[in-house]
Amino acid sequence: MQFPPCPGGTIYIIRAGDTLYSIAARFGTTVNAIMAANPGINPLNLIIGQPICIPVPGPTPVPCPGFIYTVQPGDTFYLIALRYGTTVDAMIRANPGVDPNRLFVGQRICVPVAPVPPVTPRTCVLMLSPRVSTSNAGGVLWLRTDQFGTTQI
């Protein structure tokens, strides 16, 4: 039986009833970390007796600065970033331990939300309509300038 390379981790032999989720929970790691440590493993077809590498748990993950997205067929970091208005670099930073070249359908990743620019307060100027006064019939129309601190020209 050939064991996968597992620097600093633990070799675990798959048993009946195991899932990557149950193994990850047992060892205090994540499914993504196990997938990254075992390239080529099929999470939907684990083989009893198959050795896998359980990586050492890393630091507590930082909360996702956006939302969790489930990878769909054909997805890439580039296409996801384009769809949600972020960048590939931001996607990589938000998903430490995820290989952007090895996404798998069903994998849950963080899509960071692009920062919303601060709203600049705007000044609103209220323009009052000038009043027009009339004199007797046939008289002259006068613009009332006294209300606005202006003079008639």
For residues 56 and 85, give the distance between their C-alpha atoms in angstroms, rounded to a whole number.
34
Return the higher-pLDDT residue of 90 and 58.
90
Q: What is the pLDDT of residue 105?
A: 82
Q: What is the mean pLDDT of residues 65-79?
A: 93
- Candidates 29, 23, 25, 33; CA nearest to 95 is 33
Q: What is the pLDDT of residue 153?
A: 60
Q: What is the pLDDT of residues 7-40, one digit of tens each?
A: 778 889 999 999 998 898 888 888 989 999 998 8
Which domains does the chain show, CATH number per domain? 1-58 (3.10.350.10)
Q: What is the mean pLDDT of residues 100-115?
A: 85
| 115: pLDDT strictly greater than 90 | no
Radius of gyration over every alpha carbon of the chain, rounded to an integer in angstroms:
33
**What is the token pair recorded at 122?**
């705007």
Q: Where are the alpha helices (DSSP H) in 1-115?
A: 20-27, 31-37, 77-84, 88-94
Amino acid code (one letter) for 11: I
| 143: pLDDT strictly greater than 70 | no
Query: pTM of the predicted model, to two decimals?
Result: 0.41
- Tell me the pLDDT band of 59, cut-offs 50, 70 and 90: low
Residues 6+ apart with CB under 8 A from 23: 12, 34, 52, 54
| 97: pLDDT strictly greater than 80 | no
| 49: pLDDT strictly greater than 80 | yes
What are the angstrom distances between the C-alpha of 145 and each of 26, 78, 79, 127, 150? Answer: 83, 63, 62, 14, 5
- Strand, coil or helix: 7: coil
